[in-house]
Structure 1
Amino acid sequence: MKEKRYELIKHYILQKNHVTLKELEDEFNVSMNTIRRDVNKILEDSRFEKVYGGVSVKKNTLVNFEDRNIENKEIKKGIAKAAADLIQPHDLIYIDSGTTTKYILDYLDDDIDISIITNSLDVIVKAEKFKNIPIFLIGHVFKKSTRSFVGVESDELTAKYNISKAFMAATAVSMQSGLMNSDVMEYEIKKQAIEKANNVFLLADAEKFDKSTLLTYASLKDIDCMITNKHFNEEYNEFFAENNIKTIETTP
């Protein structure tokens, strides 16, 4: 219970950017002494810093969605193109919400016959022009900051849909912490997609690696293929070999 509260408090601070101890006390309905102990623990995370009367997110800790949309655009497109090359007619694919995954549809033939499951508004808009692509939307609440639909039942995706290929995004990636994202509401969707898919492809540019963020939605061992512009060191290559993970290294 305590560990879960730590994570919820972290998420709250990340969303607000700065909070007072009194605000945390009221929001989480615990005593000030408990909040002080929780904050001391949370300050072990390098993303946060103590300020007078509260806690703040350090500058440059997280990049917002709109800025991430612009960063490394050509690199992201190159990764998306490599992912698109893996899609075959009659595939039933899940396309995750993300600033790289949204470009996949730019590289598909206009008459390709596939089905798409997604929670991404950008993917829905792009898929609309394809005459042979039915779109299955998941998520009941629209989140403007990430242009995605969130909020699913605990088994909504796994119970209803078959997924041949899942093309996943992550805010951060590492061997130790796996595939990470910073949004509690998107966590369940990503987790279910990984569990249901026959093949899992991670699209991640080099800037995402060996960093950390709020939540781990899957182990790195859970993916089948890594698509990235990163050139991996021996430790990563050994990990991929041991876990039968294919790597596709792209250029812009």
Structure 2
Amino acid sequence: MFIFRSMRVEMDEKCSQAPSEFARRGGRQAPSGIGHNAVKQTRIQSIKAYIVASRTVTLEQICEKFQISKSTLRRDLEEIIADGDIRKSYGVLTAQPAAQQRPFEERYVANAAAKRRIAERAAQLVSDNDIIFIDSGSTTMYMPDYLQDRSNITIITNNLEVIRRAYPFRNIMVITISGILNRDLDSFAGASAVSVLAGYNINRAFMATAGIARDFSITNSFVAETDLKKMAMARSQRRVLLADAAKFGVLSLCTYCRMEEIDTLVTDRDPPAEYLIRLREAGKELVVCPPAPHPGT
């Protein structure tokens, strides 16, 4: 069953129009099973991540790295550069600056109003006595602000800003995860952090992302956090992804899960049609929290 909660009743109309709209844009439905197309999409995802990590690579380097022929790579190139975050010029592929992650301070202020709405709506999913994991992110960090009226909440987190925001509230117990402090991320990560998290049972994990790729991969930009995110997903009974609309169609360095692995997506605007279709087919919950209408509109 597909559940859609929004201040606007548009879902039925959008879903009925979505396949034709998607087709007119020249898009391709992501594969639902294992086969040739699934292998191709996985290869393209890996190649794009390699380019983002390396920033600039030659076609020959890609062929050697992934053990593919030049003809295979030529067939893949259209999809590799389709999003505009990677450009090709004279046999060289270059990741554009937008494909690189920004420091936490810069992400803190970008689209802040939408991120606060998303965090507030996600906090409504928390029940009394819940044990929750709050991921490191510029949207998830706002969640403690909206948990003041809940009883006996336990937050497990690796993010300094989450800890700071939860500190004044006596109703919240905070469990911090050990590890190495990354000042660009305002968070702790590393093998010890993963080991500590593995010992906890979690009711809900509230996850962040740097981008939701066209093949429905949930991605992040920092390798050090990837294993921690995977562990949080594995230890949680339910998984909630917080992502503003700017994250759709964005590929970042590492994939930590697929969209089918989350239970609820909370965002500020209706996702593109292909994402709506995928969520509906997987029976996932979509929560949209648009800005309040201006008075008189």
TM-score for the superposition, normalised by structure 2: 0.67
C-alpha distance in structure 1 between counterparts of 2:62 and 2:140, whole Å: 38
Query: Is the partner of 2:108 in helix, strand or coil?
Result: helix
1:108 is displaced (CA, Å) by: 1.6
Matched, 1:82 2:121: yes
Q: 1:96 aligns with which of 121, 132, 135?
A: 135
Q: Could you tell me which runs of 5 or more consecutive residues in structure 1 were left unpaired when the two chains were aligned.
A: 22-32
Structure 1 residues 111 and 200: alpha-carbon distance in aligned structure 2, compared to 1, 3 A threshold: closer
Matched, 1:137 2:181: no
Q: Deviation digits for residues 119-139 of structure 1, max 9, x if unmatched?
A: 111001111111132211124
* Greater shift in the superposed pair: 157-166 or 113-122: 157-166
Q: 1:200 aligns with which of 231, 239, 248?
A: 239
For 2:23, the equivalent position in structure 1 comes to none
Amino acid at match of 2:177: I
Query: Is the partner of 1:146 in helix, strand or coil?
Result: coil
Q: Could you tell me which runs of 5 or more consecutive residues in structure 2 were left unpaired when the two chains were aligned.
A: 1-42, 292-297
C-alpha distance in structure 1 between counterparts of 2:174 and 2:98, whole Å: 36
Q: Give aligned-pair identity as a percent.
A: 32
1:61 is displaced (CA, Å) by: 3.0
Aligned residues: 232
Q: 1:58 aligns with which of 96, 100, 119?
A: 96
Q: 2:279 aligns with which of 237, 240, 250?
A: 240
Amino acid at match of 1:145: D
C-alpha distance in structure 1 between counterparts of 2:199 and 2:231, whole Å: 11
C-alpha distance in structure 2 between counterparts of 1:185 and 1:234, whole Å: 32
Q: Deviation digits for residues 54-73 of structure 1, max 9, x if unmatched?
A: 98642333351322211111
Q: 1:70 aligns with which of 109, 116, 119?
A: 109
C-alpha distance in structure 2 between counterparts of 1:56 and 1:238, whole Å: 31
C-alpha distance in structure 1 between counterparts of 2:275 and 2:48, whole Å: 28
Matched, 1:183 2:222: yes
Structure 1 residues 103 and 10: alpha-carbon distance in aligned structure 2, compared to 1, 3 A threshold: same
C-alpha distance in structure 2 between counterparts of 1:145 and 1:155, whole Å: 19
C-alpha distance in structure 2 between counterparts of 1:201 and 1:116, whole Å: 15
Structure 1 residues 115 and 68: alpha-carbon distance in aligned structure 2, compared to 1, 3 A threshold: same
In 1, are the aligned partners of 2:177 and 2:193 still within 8 Å (CA)? Answer: no
C-alpha distance in structure 1 between counterparts of 2:113 and 2:223, whole Å: 29
Amino acid at match of 1:206: A
Q: 1:151 aligns with which of 169, 181, 190?
A: 190
TM-score for the superposition, normalised by structure 1: 0.78
1:105 is displaced (CA, Å) by: 1.0
Q: Deviation digits for residues 172-214 of structure 1, max 9, x if unmatched?
A: 0136142100111000010111111111000000000012111
* Greater shift in the superposed pair: 166-175 or 149-158: 149-158
Query: Is the partner of 1:136 in helix, strand or coil?
Result: strand
Query: Is the partner of 1:134 in helix, strand or coil?
Result: strand
In 2, are the aligned partners of 1:154 and 1:188 still within 8 Å (CA)? Answer: no
Aligned positions of 1:9-24 closer than 5 A: 10=51, 13=54
Structure with more relative contact order (C-alpha pairs < 8 Å, separation 6 or more): 2
Q: Deviation digits for residues 7-27 of structure 1, max 9, x if unmatched?
A: 99656546xxx89x9xxxxxx
Query: Is the partner of 1:145 in helix, strand or coil?
Result: coil
Query: Is the partner of 2:127 in helix, strand or coil?
Result: coil
In 2, are the aligned partners of 1:175 and 1:220 still within 8 Å (CA)? Answer: no
For 1:217, the equivalent position in structure 2 comes to 256
Amino acid at match of 2:231: Q
Structure 1 residues 209 and 38: alpha-carbon distance in aligned structure 2, compared to 1, 3 A threshold: same
Query: Is the partner of 2:246 in helix, strand or coil?
Result: helix
Amino acid at match of 2:141: K
Query: Is the partner of 1:106 in helix, strand or coil?
Result: helix
